[in-house]
Each structure stands twice: as structure tokens, then as C-alpha cells.
A and B are shown apart, each in its own frame.
Chain A
Amino acid sequence: MSTSGQDRPFADGFMDDYFAEADEHMVAVRRSLMALESALGSTLPSAALEDLFRSFHSLKGISAMVELREAELLAHHMESCLRAVRQGTLTLTTANFEVLVDGVRMLEHVIASRRTSTPQPLVDEVVEKLDALGRSGVEAHRPAALTATDASNEPSQPGARARLLRVTFVPSPQLVERGVKVDTVRARLMQIGEVRNVTPTVLPGGGISFEFVVETSDASPLAQWKDDGLTYGPLDAAAAVELRGAEEADAATSQERRLTELTLTGSSNVVRVDLARLDELMRLVGEMVVTRSRLEDTLRRVEAHVPFQEWRALQDHSARLERNLRDLREGVMRVRLVPVGEIFRRMPFVVRDLARDNGKRVKLELTGHSTEIDKFLVERMMDPVLHIVRNAISHGIETPEQRIAAGKPADGIIRLGAATAGETVIIEIADDGRGIDIASVAQRARTLGLVVPDDGGLESRALLDIICASGFSTRDHADRVSGRGVGMAVVRDTVEGLGGILAVESKPGHGTTFRLTLPLTLAITDAIISHVGDQIFAVPQTAVREVVEVDENLLHAFERNELMPYRGGTLPMVRLSEMFSISAVKRPRYHAIVVGTGQTALGLIVDRIAGQREVVVKTITDPLIRVDGVSGATELGDGRVVLILDVAALSRARRQHARVITGVSA
């Protein structure tokens, strides 16, 4: 790939847009491929074929614009193959479908390499195979007179008898109940011809209607759908000319694609925004909140000097401003939320490949993919979820033979679900496989020198502690799929590092469920403000179980540990002043913030609690100030930095400390 020095920066300016758009198309490609694969050998869903064709066409176009030749070439050949399939000259089989899948994988690789500025992979072999596939269709079926036509031209012109029809569909709850939705209608229309355009229109009463422009030579099936909210008639000449004219400029295709996508997602306006701009907005809102709290401080000070009436009015305005700001902040926060579906979309592909490589048969069930979560979290949840799914396939799900022998259906099931619960989002990954073998986990843990309760019965939290211990794996050898047992440790660290909780439940013979509970957003959080010596710390409310008063006389010290009686049991205590080397005055009574549950519960000893408030979280990224136990920074109105404690890291440090001690005594 070579370009003149002048063009390069020009193209580079578009690269971010290119990657964003290419990602969207690749998502659509994967979706369509999955739909096609499940229909191999029977009638292929024309909607998926159409979508796939368009996606390749668009990818070809945008790749050409940024001069990513490898991607352009791959997309071009796959487009040609799809054209042959659409025209019925090529039949997709399991064998040649793999060629397409390889092509898509290579295309992903090419785009990824460009993104990371790493050397491009060699595409020749894949391109050759695709080319051969595309040709096989054309040569076998194309009439001799037409062979000279360039294969890259647009699809064949429709027959002379094809007519353009305007089909209007008005959805209603009754229709939806009967299963007739806009995509049903669209699929039906695609069976009788080609959908050239879709326009959603908002009706005066608040409803919505969709107007399809369909090109068909046989409109008779339309009559039988009359009861499904469809009306139709010939498209008037002017509109038809306009449509064709637009299509020549190749604009209609992309326009239609966009419109169809929009009608399918049910929104009419979508704007793509750079996350950095949202962060900037959030920062500005945060500053306004700080300014307002200064305003309130000032108000309080002048109360004595201002006539009551006036002061009252000021107070009202300030209170209203606070409400407005809260709404604004909530609004900006909501904009950052994206559907967790982003994590799920890649999964069918991953599951399919892994199942094949492992000789397993797996069905994937997805639920709640429209559940929304902060963009920042979505990106970081991708790898942990992927890892757990991989584990489920390689360790959890049995081979078909084993399953049948155990009286289970041959196909294993992995359920991937997401749901919102208050201010948290729960992601669940469940398999119906063999479950975690408690005995072998305990055995393996003992040989690694980990502490295992003697009765052999591992409660789920202890089980999690063991499978998340670094270096732990029930397999003696590392396999390609699940690696070397460092994975679950990283998964737990990631989830906890983001203020979430990882939990596992396993029933021998019935399967394993991992549950990731995450905060909806990290940008704003309720925090407990506490003082240690002359320093102030914020502790995120989500991690706090309760605040208790501590009586020095009730603390039991041994070696470097301190325990406090707590709810009929004991609670290990950590003095923040010691952990952070802050000189604090010894007091007879102080407060402790209880964080975590069960085995990981911990009391953080502070001097006093100043209250609870909503804080805007700023992440700490600079290596100079990234220290264990601190997750971010905020300010409380005076412009000074207040550190936000990373409770998960604090209790992790504590766990490691504890392990060292038990290791010595064992």
C-alpha cells in the first residue's frame, strides 16, 4: 500500500471515523453471517443476505477512501461472492461458507492491524479462495454473451416487467401481538422483490408509519397481507424517477441501509459522539456543581446581612439550580450509557469457533442485550466475559457423548444475560455443563499450598477465592483455549477494580453460573467522606456495608492484626492511618467503615465520618500517583483534591497479607 506523502495525513484525518464505521459494519457482518450459517442447506434468509451484501459494499467503499487496499480487496471479493449468491448462481454450502468466514476474519485482522499500526497480514491466499468462489458461481451460470461484463458492476438490472410499489405499514399493538412487526413486513417484502427504500413517518396522532418502496414483478402476495396493516399502490412517476436518479449516485443504497437500521432500532436520530467530548461535558457539569456549592457557602455566610425576604429568594434560586444541575448531570451520565449488547455481539462467533475446536456442541442464549451500562465499563467487561465463556466451553460443557451418557441433551447451553438492578447492572454467564468439581478443586488447591476448609465442603465464596488464586487451574496442562489459570485472577481483579463484585455458583452435574455485578457508571458515585488525621478520603457508597463506631477497648490485637467483635463474629480491621502512614492522634473512640461481605469483609478505621455526598469521579491515570488502594480523585468544593479509596484493592492487599500469614503457620 503506497500513497503520496501529501495524501497520507489527509487519509489519517479520517481514520477514527473509518474505524468507527468499519466496526459498525463488522458487527452487522457478524450478525448476518450467524443468521446465514444457521440456515445453510435450507432457504437462506434474504434479509441477512441483503444486509451482508450491503455491509461488504460499504466496507469496500470506505476502505478505498482511506486507501486500505487489503480491506478493500477482501470486501470486494466477498461482495462478489454475495452477489452471486443473491442472484442464485452460487449456492452456499458448509464448505464454501467457511471461505467467507475466513475472509471476514482476515478483514477484521487487516482493520485491526491498521488500527494498531502493525504490519498487515498476507491476504493473498484468502483473496484467491474468495475469488475462486465468486467465479465458480459466475462461470457456471452466466450466459456466454455476458461473460465479458465486469463482475464488479452493480447487480443485474431488474427485468422490464418489474414495477415500483409504495407499501405503507402502520404497526399497532394488536399486530405486534400477532407477531407482525416492521421487520416481519420487511422480510416479507424482500421475498417478493427488492426493497429500494424505507421511510418512517410520524403520524399526527403520535403513531408511526413505514413507507417501503418495493421493486417487484409479482405483487399478488401483497393482497394476502392486507389484514396486517399493509396498504399499497403504484409509486408515482416523479418519485420513481427521483429514486432511480438517487440510486445512480449510489446514495440511495447507503441511505436505505441507514434508514432500515434506524427503523429497526426504533429511533429516528442517532449521533455518534467521541467519548472524550462526553468526558469534557461531565467535567464542566462537575465544575458547575462545585461552583454551586461555593455559592451556597457564600449564601450561608451572608444570611445575617441580607433582608430575610431577599435571602429567601436567593436560597430558592440556589435550590432550583441544584435540582437543574442534578438533572443535567443525570442526563450527561445517561448519554454515556450503551447497550451491553456490544459485549454480546461477538460471542456467537467466539462460541461457534471454540465449540468446534473443542469438539463440543453449544447453543448460546442471549438475554437483556439492550441493558445499558457506561461505555467505559462495556469496553473493560469484554475480556472478562470472553474469558468466562471460554472457560465454560472448555471446562464446563461436556462432549456430546458425555452429555448423552449423563442423560442431558447433546447440545450444551450457555446463557449470557444482562439486567439492571437499581444502580447496578448484573451480567450472568451460566452453562449447563458438569459444574465445578469441588473435590478436584480442593485437591488441586492443597497441592498449590492454598488453604482449604477441612470439611471439604467449599462454600461458594471460598470456591471463588481458590479458582481466582493466581496460578490455579484444574487442568494440569495449559490448553490453547483457557490458558494457564491466570485468567480468573485477572477477571476478578478487573471486576473489583471497577467497583463490581464477582460471584460464582456451581452445582455438580448441573452447571456453573458466574455473576458480575457492576455499577451503572463510574462517572458519579455516592461516597462517604471520612477524615484520617488531616486528610480526607472518599469511600464509594456501593462498596460500603455500614459505618460502625469503634471502641478501642474492644479491639483484639495479635501480631499485625486487629479484630473487632461484629455481628456475633469477628471483623478484621485496617487502620487507614497506618496503611497510608498518616500521623493520627490516638482517640478512644472512632469510626470504621465496613466493606465487603463474608470472607472479604473488612473494617476501615478512620477518625471521623463527615457525611455522605455525591461526587464526580476523576480517574487517576498518571503512573506517578497510581497507588494501590486509591481509585480516583474528586473535589468537594474548595478545589482541593480528595482521594477516592479503592476498597477492592484494600481488601485484596489484606487478603494477600492474610495468605502470607496462614502460609507460614500451615
Chain B
Amino acid sequence: MSETSVAAPEAAAAVQSYILFGVAGTTYAIRSQQVLHIEMIDHVTPVPNAPVFVEGVVFSRGQVVPVINLRARFGFERAAITLRSRLLVVQQEGRRVGLLADESREFIRISETAIRPPQEAIGGLSGNYLEGVATLGERIVLVLSVRELVETVPNALS
């Protein structure tokens, strides 16, 4: 993971750090505050009768952590777990949940001014998890709400 854009920590309060990760060719970001750690992953134990986007369960630092397959969550085909696959273990109000991404290598700081609310034309999502869209030069990064991602169980999928 490489660190780009080292901004002054307190002076510019409107700048926050994010972890970037990729799922099916698109780049997403979540606040680094909510990410406990990022792990490589090899085996996930499937949990029968769990929601379809739940890949299964793993032990992460001794704790039982459910794994959400982000590909399945966002409506893509599942892909095999590779050496590049990463598990982002996030914390949401006492819960610990693993997010399975295709890859995750970047830690950046994004100014709030660079994040725009999602356009109203973006629709048909299975949850209200898209918090905003950031444009960093040429790149488009979708900023996600961990709370919505973890707490909202899409009806169609459950």
C-alpha cells in the first residue's frame, strides 16, 4: 500500500484519509478510520442459508468475522480468490465485518471539496450505500458508506 498526498493533518479539517479498493474494475473508497486492518485471504468457510452476498466466515485476529463478497453485493459475477484479493476488516458500531475486494493497495487523503453527492440519475442500487463520487484528476472514485453497506440487507438478495 503506497501513501500519496501527505496533507497537513489538522490544519485542513476538510481532508480525510481513505482506503481505495477495486471491485470488478471500479475503484471505491471507504474512510480509513473505519478500517481495522487489511488481510490477504485464502479460505473462507461458507455459511449455509446466509444471505447470498455473504461469502462466509473467517477468523480475523481470533474473532469470528463474516465476509461480504463485494462483487456479489454489487451484483457482479463472483470471481475466484487470488493473491491480489484483499479482506478489509471494518468496524461498524461494535460489529466487525470483512469486505472482500479484488484488490486494495492505496491509502489516500481526499479533500471534502473533491467529493460530490451522487447524481440522481444513479439508481437501481440495492442499498443507499453510495455516499459520494470523488474525482481525482482522471480517476473516478466511488465513496461508500460502511454503515449502509454492512447494515442494509438488500431485500432482493436476502
CA distance A627 to B68 in the complex (A): 15
A627, B48: Cβ atoms under 8 Å? yes
Contacts of A641 in B (CB 8 A): 45, 56-59, 64
Q: Specify which of A619, A621, A624, A628 is in contact with B68 (CB 8 Å cutoff).
A: A624
The chain B residue sitting closest to A640, CB to CB, is: B43
A625, B50: Cβ atoms under 8 Å? yes
- Encode contact with B along A540-576: 1 for CB under 8 Å, 0 otherwise: 0000000000000000000000000000000000000
Query: Which of A121-129, A194-202, A425-433, A629-637 touches B?
Result: A629-637
B66, A579: Cβ atoms under 8 Å? no
CA distance A629 to B63 in the complex (A): 20
CA distance A298 to B58 in the complex (A): 24
Contacts of A535 in B (CB 8 A): 45-46
Contacting residues of chain B (32-71) with chain A, CB-CB under 8 angstroms: 43, 45-51, 54, 56-59, 62-66, 68
CA distance A340 to B66 in the complex (A): 34
Given A622-B95, A624-B97, A641-B58, also A633-B64 (CB < 8 A): yes
Contacts of A624 in B (CB 8 A): 50-51, 54, 66, 68, 97, 150, 153
Q: Specify which of A579, A620, A640, A642 is in contact with B48 (CB 8 Å cutoff).
A: A579
CA distance A621 to B51 in the complex (A): 15
Q: Is A42 an interface residue (CB 8 A)?
A: no
Contacting residues of chain A (256-306) with chain B, CB-CB under 8 angstroms: 283, 286-287
Q: Is A251 an interface residue (CB 8 A)?
A: no
Instruction: Please indicate which of the listed interface residues B50, B54, B96, B153 has the most CB atoms of chain A within 10 Å of its own CB.
Output: B50
CA distance A624 to B46 in the complex (A): 12
B66, A622: Cβ atoms under 8 Å? yes
Contacting residues of chain A (604-628) with chain B, CB-CB under 8 angstroms: 618-622, 624-625, 627-628
Q: Specify which of B45, B51, B62, B68 is in contact with A287 (CB 8 Å cutoff).
A: B62
Contacts of A10 in B (CB 8 A): none
The chain A residue sitting closest to B65, CB to CB, is: A622
The chain B residue sitting closest to A618, CB to CB, is: B64
Contacts of B150 in A (CB 8 A): 624
Q: Is A643 an interface residue (CB 8 A)?
A: yes
Instruction: Please indicate which of the listed interface residues A618, A625, A629, A640 has the most CB atoms of chain B within 10 Å of its own CB.
Output: A625
Q: Is A639 an interface residue (CB 8 A)?
A: yes
Contacts of B65 in A (CB 8 A): 622
Min C-beta distance of B43 to chain A, whole Å:
5
Min C-beta distance of A530 to chain B, whole Å:
14
CA distance A603 to B50 in the complex (A): 23
Contacts of A633 in B (CB 8 A): 45, 57, 59, 64
A620, B62: Cβ atoms under 8 Å? no
Q: Is A447 an interface residue (CB 8 A)?
A: no
A627, B50: Cβ atoms under 8 Å? yes
Instruction: Please indicate which of the listed interface residues B47, B54, B58, B66 has the most CB atoms of chain A within 10 Å of its own CB.
Output: B47
A625, B54: Cβ atoms under 8 Å? yes
B49, A283: Cβ atoms under 8 Å? no
B47, A625: Cβ atoms under 8 Å? yes
- Encode contact with B along A567-597: 1 for CB under 8 Å, 0 otherwise: 0000000000001111000000000000000
Contacts of A622 in B (CB 8 A): 64-66, 95-97
The chain B residue sitting closest to A635, CB to CB, is: B59
A625, B66: Cβ atoms under 8 Å? yes
Contacts of A640 in B (CB 8 A): 43, 45, 59
Min C-beta distance of A428 to chain B, whole Å:
34
CA distance A55 to B153 in the complex (A): 49
Contacts of B59 in A (CB 8 A): 633, 635, 639-641
The chain A residue sitting closest to B54, CB to CB, is: A624
Contacts of A628 in B (CB 8 A): 49
CA distance A580 to B47 in the complex (A): 8
A620, B64: Cβ atoms under 8 Å? yes
Min C-beta distance of A101 to chain B, whole Å:
38
CA distance A620 to B63 in the complex (A): 9
CA distance A378 to B67 in the complex (A): 32
B49, A580: Cβ atoms under 8 Å? yes
The chain A residue sitting closest to B49, CB to CB, is: A627
The chain B residue sitting closest to A619, CB to CB, is: B64
CA distance A643 to B49 in the complex (A): 13
Contacting residues of chain B (99-115) with chain A, CB-CB under 8 angstroms: none
CA distance A620 to B95 in the complex (A): 11
CA distance A434 to B46 in the complex (A): 51
Min C-beta distance of A192 to chain B, whole Å:
56
B45, A642: Cβ atoms under 8 Å? yes
CA distance A630 to B57 in the complex (A): 12
Q: Specify which of B47, B58, B153 is in contact with A627 (CB 8 Å cutoff).
A: B47
Min C-beta distance of A616 to chain B, whole Å:
10
CA distance A640 to B41 in the complex (A): 11
B48, A582: Cβ atoms under 8 Å? yes
Contacts of A642 in B (CB 8 A): 45
Contacts of A580 in B (CB 8 A): 48-49
Given A624-B97, A635-B59, A641-B58, also A629-B66 (CB < 8 A): no
CA distance A643 to B50 in the complex (A): 13
CA distance A286 to B64 in the complex (A): 13
Contacts of B64 in A (CB 8 A): 618-622, 625, 632-633, 641
The chain B residue sitting closest to A627, CB to CB, is: B49
A630, B47: Cβ atoms under 8 Å? yes
Contacts of B48 in A (CB 8 A): 579-582, 627, 629-630
Instruction: Please indicate which of the listed interface residues B48, B66, B68, B96 has the most CB atoms of chain A within 10 Å of its own CB.
Output: B48
Instruction: Please indicate which of the listed interface residues A582, A639, A641, A643 has the most CB atoms of chain B within 10 Å of its own CB.
Output: A641
The chain A residue sitting closest to B96, CB to CB, is: A622
Min C-beta distance of A282 to chain B, whole Å:
10
CA distance A628 to B49 in the complex (A): 8
Instruction: Please indicate which of the listed interface residues B43, B49, B58, B150 has the most CB atoms of chain A within 10 Å of its own CB.
Output: B49
The chain B residue sitting closest to A535, CB to CB, is: B46
Contacts of B66 in A (CB 8 A): 622, 624-625
Min C-beta distance of B111 to chain A, whole Å:
32
Min C-beta distance of A653 to chain B, whole Å:
10
Min C-beta distance of A627 to chain B, whole Å:
4
A283, B62: Cβ atoms under 8 Å? yes
CA distance A581 to B49 in the complex (A): 8
Contacts of A625 in B (CB 8 A): 47, 50, 54, 56-57, 64, 66
Min C-beta distance of B129 to chain A, whole Å:
15
CA distance A624 to B65 in the complex (A): 10
Min C-beta distance of B46 to chain A, whole Å:
7
CA distance A35 to B153 in the complex (A): 54
Contacts of A621 in B (CB 8 A): 64
Contacts of A283 in B (CB 8 A): 62
CA distance A286 to B48 in the complex (A): 25
The chain A residue sitting closest to B151, CB to CB, is: A623
Complex A-B: 23 CB contacts under 8 Å = A287-B62, A535-B45, A580-B48, A580-B49, A581-B48, A581-B49, A620-B57, A620-B64, A622-B95, A622-B97, A624-B97, A624-B150, A625-B50, A627-B47, A627-B48, A627-B50, A629-B49, A630-B48, A633-B45, A640-B45, A641-B57, A642-B45, A643-B57
8 smallest A-B Cβ distances: which pairs?
Answer: A580-B48, A641-B45, A624-B66, A625-B66, A627-B49, A633-B64, A625-B47, A622-B66
Query: Besides the contacts A620-B64, A640-B45, what 9 more A-B pairs have beta carbons closer than 8 Å?
Result: A286-B62, A580-B48, A581-B49, A622-B65, A625-B54, A635-B59, A640-B43, A641-B56, A641-B57
